[in-house]
Structures are given as structure tokens and as C-alpha cells.
């Protein structure tokens, strides 16, 4: 039987009997679903809040005002704690001590010093830990329920990213090709010029030098300079261009852009003014053999050694052997291909073996936590994930904003839906 249930029985008169009367150890101030809020809890929280307000030099509200606010908060915390318990949320003792240590560190103290500080303020360490455990549990159930309610659109993310970029004054170095179209051109003439520009764009995509194409064909003012449009911010280039350039990566060629003067092609040569987020990636493929009751560790190692020799000699194809032998369900049907990935996502041993290889080299058999492997390094690159990073940051900003808004709504809803009976008035 929990302490609260025992105190509930006590407060109902089923406690220590003596000469015809019941001694009430504690009183219930509110019943909340299947639990209760006790007078001792309310008194302790009131003393704690009052002490904190005095320490900050803030005005302490009247007792009846303070009591009502704190009781309402205790009721709301109790509802959330019961939800956390029903959801099976648990905080281990080791995890709890870890959080306690972090709080002590944030206050510039060691954990033993922090415990002494709590004792000097009249708060027992076990009481502190119990409050902390409840706070972590309610926080996690709150995050779980509220996050499910948050919807973030692509349009919202783009709006935040653009706002961030505008503050940084990003500059874009552009290449520009213009093919003019007569103002009075009929549909057939317009189509002629459009086809012409489309052909130039195709040549560029197939490897022709943008600046050479621009110098020979562009009718823009910067044609003689190979179409170099110079460095521009979004505010100093035509809005027709900025709406397109914003979504381009360095080296990209735009689709055709129609303006009153004709058709344009843009190339994003470079950009500056933002912190680039470059991620090292590797392209690899592997074959995994997992020892079992039939295949021993040595059998797995020997099989991979044989497969490796067959590939190196040209007798067999790596991809076909991966489809035939690999036990990795995610890559076997792809010929063992793991795609472009950061090596940090892999098992440490697998990552180390990849790091030893040159392009197209195949490793000797090695064992990771998943089993025995051979792996081939197919390529390396630095991937520009700046846009992805900015979008993630924007989504986090939006989630934080919406979380607070949704949390207030959710808290009102669970309070309205819960059975709550205040046993005594707070006045």
C-alpha cells in the first residue's frame, strides 16, 4: 500500500484509534482521479515557493491567492503523473542520480555539496529526488502527448528559413544568359525562342561551359563577361531571380525563367555569408554472414574469405554474391549496397574497417556486433547539407513555438476531463 493510500485511509477515520476518536495524521485537500493531494504537500510547496519569492526580492501574494494557485498546479501535476504511470514511464535510480548531478553542476556544486545545501534549506534529499522523478515523468508524458498534436507545414518551414537567411545577408554569385523575345511576338515565335533557350540549357547540362555559351549566345548586358552577373543579395537581384536562386545549390542550372524581356537561364556559381554544413559521406557495399547453430564463427570467416577471393579474381560479381549470401535484410537484395551515408552511423568496428580502405578496395573478413563482414568502399564525398540543416533548425523553432501553445490547450483539456474534487476550500 502506497503512503498516499495509507494517508487516505487515515484521513477517513480508519487510522490509529484512541479512546473513541481518530487521530488524523494528514488531511486530503483534493481528490484527483484515483489519487489525492495532501495538506502536507500543499504546505510544503507553499513554503518552498514563498521562500523562493522572498530570495528573489519578489512580492509574495496573499496566502489565499498563493494557496489556490499552488493547489491548482498540484492537481494538474497529479493528473499528468497518473497519465505517465498508466503509460508505463519509469525513471531508473541511476538515471535519477544522473539528473540530480546535472542540477548540482548547474548550481556550481558537487552532488554532496548540493545535498548539504538542500538540508540547510530544510529539504530532505529523498524528498528532492521524489519531486525530481515526478517532474521528469510528467515532462515526458507531456512531450509525448503534445508533440503528437503539433503539425508543421513545408510552407512554415520555408518561411522561417528565409527569415533566417535574410538576417544573414547571403550573397549569390550568378551566371546569367538572356535570349530576348520581341514584345509583339506571336505564340509561334515565342515557342521558337523557348526551344532555342531550352537547347542551350541542355548543352550546358551535358557539359558545355556556361560562360562560353553565355558569351556566344546571351543578349544580356554581362554576356561579354561570360554571363557573370556578379555577387547579389536577394534584395539586389530581380525578385524573379531571387525566388528561383534561393532553392538552388552551388553548380545548379535553373529551369527557363520567363520575363517580359525574354527567357533567362541562371547558374549558381557560388554563395557566401552563411555557415556551410558539409558532411563526409562514404558509398559502400558489404556482405554479412551471421554465425548460428549450423554456421560457426570460423565457417563464417572462411566463407567470406572465399567470396572475397572470387570477387578479386573476377570469377564472381560482388553484387550477385551479396544477393546470394548476405544476411543483411536491408541491403542484400540491393547487392549489398549501403548507399551514401555518414560513416558515423555504422558499428564502430565497421566504421574503422571502412576508414582503412581506398576506393574500390575490399576488406578482409572482420567481425562486428552484427556478425562477420567484408566491405568494399565505392566512393567518398563531402555532401553540402546546409539547406537540410537550416530546415531542421527552422522545424525546431516552429516546434518550440507550437509546443507552448499546444501544451496550454492540452493542459486545459486534461484538467477539464479529469475527475477532481477539492475537499477543502483554499481560502
User: The dihedral of CA 181, 183, 187, 188: what is its sign?
Assistant: negative
pLDDT attached to residue 12: 32
User: What is the rounded distance in angstroms from the CA atom of residue 204 to the CA atom of residue 227?
Assistant: 13
pLDDT attached to residue 276: 67
pLDDT attached to residue 123: 83
User: What is the rounded distance in angstroms from the CA atom of residue 427 to the CA atom of residue 419?
Assistant: 21
User: What is the rounded distance in angstroms from the CA atom of residue 16 to the CA atom of residue 39?
Assistant: 19
pLDDT one-digit tens code per residue, 251-290: 999 999 999 999 999 999 998 876 667 889 999 999 999 9
Kindly report the pTM of this predicted structure: 0.48
Q: Where are the domains of the chain?
A: 25-149+417-422, 170-272, 278-384
Residues in the chain where the model's pLDDT stays below 70: 1-25, 165-168, 274-276, 424-427
pLDDT attached to residue 425: 53
pLDDT attached to residue 336: 96
User: What is the rounded distance in angstroms from the CA atom of residue 208 to the CA atom of residue 230?
Assistant: 21
- Are domains 170-272 and 278-384 of this chain identical in fold? yes
**170-272: CATH topology:** Chitinase A; domain 3 (3.10.50)
pLDDT attached to residue 167: 62
**25-149+417-422: CATH topology:** Triger factor/SurA peptide-binding fold (1.10.4030)
What CATH number belongs to 278-384? Answer: 3.10.50.40
pLDDT attached to residue 25: 62
User: What is the rounded distance in angstroms from the CA atom of residue 126 to the CA atom of residue 115?
Assistant: 10
User: What is the rounded distance in angstroms from the CA atom of residue 38 to the CA atom of residue 4?
Assistant: 8
User: What is the rounded distance in angstroms from the CA atom of residue 174 to the CA atom of residue 51?
Assistant: 63
pLDDT attached to residue 242: 85
pLDDT attached to residue 424: 61
pLDDT attached to residue 342: 92
User: What is the rounded distance in angstroms from the CA atom of residue 300 to the CA atom of residue 297?
Assistant: 5
Amino acid at each position: 500500500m502506497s503512503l498516499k493510500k495509507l494517508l487516505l485511509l487515515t484521513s477517513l477515520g480508519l487510522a490509529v484509534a484512541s479512546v473513541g476518536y481518530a487521530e488524523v495524521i494528514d488531511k486530503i485537500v483534493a481528490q484527483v482521479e484515483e489519487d489525492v493531494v495532501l495538506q502536507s504537500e500543499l504546505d510544503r510547496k507553499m513554503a518552498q515557493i514563498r521562500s523562493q519569492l522572498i530570495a528573489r526580492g519578489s512580492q509574495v501574494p496573499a496566502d489565499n491567492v498563493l494557496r489556490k494557485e499552488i493547489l491548482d498546479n498540484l492537481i494538474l501535476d497529479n493528473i499528468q503523473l497518473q497519465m505517465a504511470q498508466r503509460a508505463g514511464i519509469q525513471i531508473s535510480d541511476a538515471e535519477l542520480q544522473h539528473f540530480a548531478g546535472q542540477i548540482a553542476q548547474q548550481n556550481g556544486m558537487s552532488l554532496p555539496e548540493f545535498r548539504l545545501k538542500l538540508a540547510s534549506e530544510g529539504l530532505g534529499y529523498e524528498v528532492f529526488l521524489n519531486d525530481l522523478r515526478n517532474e521528469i515523468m510528467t515532462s515526458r508524458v507531456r512531450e509525448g502527448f503534445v508533440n503528437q498534436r503539433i503539425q508543421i507545414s513545408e510552407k512554415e518551414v520555408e518561411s522561417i528559413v528565409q527569415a533566417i537567411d535574410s538576417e544573414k545577408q547571403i550573397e549569390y554569385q550568378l551566371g546569367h544568359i538572356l535570349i530576348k523575345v520581341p514584345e509583339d511576338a506571336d505564340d509561334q515565335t515565342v515557342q521558337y525562342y523557348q526551344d532555342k533557350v531550352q537547347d542551350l540549357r541542355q548543352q550546358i547540362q551535358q557539359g558545355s561551359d556556361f560562360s562560353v555559351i553565355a558569351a556566344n549566345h546571351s543578349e544580356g548586358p554581362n554576356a561579354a563577361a561570360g554571363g557573370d552577373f556578379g555577387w547579389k543579395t536577394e534584395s539586389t537581384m530581380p525578385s524573379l531571380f531571387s525566388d528561383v536562386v534561393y532553392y538552388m545549390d552551388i553548380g545548379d542550372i535553373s529551369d527557363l525563367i520567363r520575363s517580359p524581356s525574354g527567357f533567362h537561364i541562371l547558374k549558381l556559381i557560388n554563395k557566401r555569408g552563411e555557415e556551410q554544413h558539409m558532411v563526409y559521406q562514404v558509398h559502400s557495399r558489404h556482405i554479412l554472414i551471421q554465425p548460428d547453430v549450423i554456421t560457426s564463427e570460423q565457417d563464417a570467416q572462411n566463407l567470406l574469405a572465399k567470396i572475397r577471393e572470387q570477387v578479386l579474381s573476377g570469377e564472381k560479381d560482388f553484387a550477385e554474391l551479396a544477393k546470394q549470401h548476405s544476411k543483411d535484410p536491408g541491403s542484400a537484395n540491393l547487392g549489398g549496397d549501403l548507399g551514401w551515408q555518414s560513416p558515423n552511423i555504422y558499428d564502430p568496428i565497421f566504421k574503422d574497417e571502412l576508414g582503412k580502405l581506398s576506393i574500390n578496395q575490399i576488406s578482409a573478413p572482420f567481425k562486428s556486433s552484427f556478425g562477420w563482414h567484408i566491405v568494399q568502399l565505392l566512393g567518398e564525398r563531402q555532401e553540402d547539407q546546409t539547406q537540410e540543416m537550416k530546415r531542421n533548425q527552422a522545424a525546431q523553432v516552429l516546434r518550440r513555438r507550437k509546443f507552448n501553445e499546444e501544451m496550454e490547450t492540452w493542459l486545459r483539456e486534461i484538467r477539464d476531463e479529469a475527475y477532481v474534487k477539492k475537499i477543502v476550500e483554499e481560502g
